[in-house]
Amino acid sequence: MKLTIHEVAKVIGAINDISQYQDLELTGVKFDTRKIILGNIFVPLKGKRDGHDFIREAIKQGAIATLWAKNLEDAPYEIAVIQVTDPLAAMQQLASYYLQKIQPEVIAITGSNGKTTTKDMTYAILSKTYKTYKTQGNYNNEIGLPYTILSMPDDTEKLVLEMGMDHPGDLHLLSTLTKPDIAVITLIGESHLKTFKTRINIAKGKFEIINGLKSNGTLITPGNEPLLKPLIQKLPQKMLTFGIDNTSDLRAKIISEEKTQTIFTLNFLEGKFTIPLSGSYNVKNALIAAFIGQQMKIATKDICESLKKVKLTQNRTEWLKRDDGVEILSDIYNANPTAMKLVLKSFAQMPIPTTSRRIVILGDMLNLGENAKEFHKNLAFNLYPDTIHYLFLYGEEMSNLYQVIKIKYPKKTCFYYQKNDKVKLIKAVKAFIKPKDLVMLKASNEMGFKEIVDALLEY
C-alpha cells in the first residue's frame, strides 16, 4: 500500500497535530481487529459495539496508527493517533484519494440479481490480461466498498466493484466516490421493496450509479426494462442495452443448455461461448462481462477461455453432486420474485432420466414490503406438477404459496414447514430423496438454507 501516516492525516484533514509521529509507510487499512497485521492503520467504526473499544486488541495485532473520534485524552500513546470527526467518512475520503492515486479503470456493477456473478465473470476475463482486483465476498456497501478500494494492490490496473443498495442515496455515494468508467445495471427486481415501496423507486435508486460515471463513460442496462427507459433518454454518456432478444444493442443467442453448462453466441464477437452454468440469466451476465472484456482489448479466445473456467462466489447457481447421483442446485444467497422465477424456469427445463424426479425446496423471499403475500402466491404460476414433481416450502411467507399450490399439486407431492421446523424439514427431505434425483434450493440468505444444503450432502 502506497500510503504513509502523514499522508493519510493530510488527506482526511486530521484535527490534531500529527508531526510528533514518525511518517511510517502503512501496510493496509482495517476496521476488523481480527484481520490486522503489522503496519496497519485501524479504523474504529460503530456497529453493535464502538470500534474504539477494541483499540488495545488492534495494537496487540500490530496496528501502528489509528483514526480516532473520541477525546485525545482517551487515545493510546503507543501508536500514531489521527483525530477525525467521523471514522467512516474519513475512510471513504481516503478510499477516494487512493483510487485517484492508483488510477485503475473502474467497472461498477449493481442490480437486484446477478451483480456478483457478473462481477466474477468480468474479473475472470480482465485478470487474464491485466492486474485486476474485485470486490471480495459481499463487501459492496458504504463500508465494504471503500475497504475494497483500500485493499487493492498498488499495481492494480482494473478494479471491478460490486455496488449494493439498501436505501435511496446509497448508490449516489458509492458512484461519486469511485467515478466509474463503466457502470452496469444487471436487473431491476423486487429486492428492497420494503424500503423503496415500488419498482419505480428501485429503478431510480439503481440509476444513481450514473451519478459518478465519467463523462466519457458507458452505461449498460437490460433492454427489456421499461422502468429505465425514461431515465436514460437524456443521458450524456454512452448507453447500451443487453438481452436475449432482437432489439438490444448487445445480444446473446442460446445454442444449448444443460445442467452444468450453456453454449451461446454473441452479436459483437465471433464464435461460440460456454459457461459452466445453466440459465438464460447467467448468459446475460456472461454477455456483459464479454463486452467489457472486448472494450478493454481482451482477445476473443481469452474471453472464451475465461468464461468456460469461471469460478463463482459460493452459493450462487452452484451444482453439487452426491455419490449416489443426486444433484443439488444451490442458489441460496438471495431471492426475489424475478430471480426465483428465472431459476424455476431453468430448473424445470433440465433434462432428467425417466426414473429421476425434480424436487424444489423454497424458502421465504424477504424485504418485499406490503406485497410480500402476493409475490409468494404468484410463484404458483411458475410451478407445475409435470415439471416440478415435488415441492417443499419453508417459512412464514411461503405459507401463502402453500395455500394456493396445494390445490394445484396432487396429495403427497407438496409439503409445508413452519420456520421453527427446519430440523423436521431436513429430516423429511433426506428421507424422501432417491438416487439420481435433481434437487433445487432457493431462499433469501437469512433463511439459513446453507444448513439444509450441508445436511443433504451428508447421507
Cell numbers for 204, please give them: 431510480
In 3-state terms the chain splits into helix, strand, coil percentages (rounded to 5) of 40, 20, 40
Average pLDDT along the chain:
95
pTM of the model: 0.90
> Comparing C-alpha atoms, which of 145, 106, 104, 109 is closest to residue 288?
109
Q: How far apart are CA 236 and CA 214, in angstroms?
A: 10
- Return the bridge partners of 67, or none: 82
CATH 3.40.50.1820 given to domain 318-457: no
The pLDDT value recorded for residue 232 is: 87
Q: How far apart are CA 389 and CA 382, in angstroms?
A: 13
Tens digit of each residue's pLDDT (9 = 90 or more) over 335-391: 899 889 999 999 998 888 888 999 999 999 998 989 999 999 999 999 999 999 999
Confidence of residue 315 (pLDDT cuts 50, 70, 90): low
How is the chain split into domains, by residue range? Answer: 5-86, 103-308, 318-457
Is residue 21 predicted with pLDDT exceeding 70? yes
Phi, psi (rounded to 5 degrees) for 265: -120, 165
- Region 154-183 average pLDDT: 97
Is residue 185 predicted with pLDDT exceeding 90? yes
The length of the chain, given as a count of residues: 459
Amino acid at the residue 420: N
The pLDDT value recorded for residue 117 is: 94
Q: How far apart are CA 432 and CA 344, in angstroms?
A: 20
The pLDDT value recorded for residue 258 is: 87
- Region 419-430 average pLDDT: 96
Q: How far apart are CA 384 and CA 360, in angstroms?
A: 11
- Region 307-326 average pLDDT: 87
- Region 33-62 average pLDDT: 96
Residue 133 carries which DSSP code?
E
Please indicate whether the domains covering 5-86 and 103-308 agree at the CATH topology level.
no
pLDDT over 70, % of the chain:
100
Is residue 58 predicted with pLDDT exceeding 70? yes
Choose between 55 and 349: higher pLDDT.
Answer: 55
| Most distant CA pair in the chain, distance | 78
- Region 175-189 average pLDDT: 97
Amino acid at the residue 70: K
- Beta-carbon neighbour count of residue 374 at 10 Å? 11
Confidence of residue 312 (pLDDT cuts 50, 70, 90): confident
CATH of segment(s) 103-308: 3.40.1190.10
> Comparing C-alpha atoms, which of 365, 387, 382, 368 is closest to residue 444?
365
Is residue 426 predicted with pLDDT exceeding 70? yes
- Region 165-193 average pLDDT: 95
Can you list the alpha helix ranges (DSSP code H) found in 314-412?
337-348, 372-377, 398-408
Residue pair 199/168 in contact by the 8 Å Cβ criterion? no
Confidence of residue 311 (pLDDT cuts 50, 70, 90): confident
Tens digit of each residue's pLDDT (9 = 90 or more) over 225-249: 999 989 988 888 999 999 998 899 9
Q: May I ask the CATH class of domain 5-86?
A: alpha beta
- Region 73-97 average pLDDT: 97
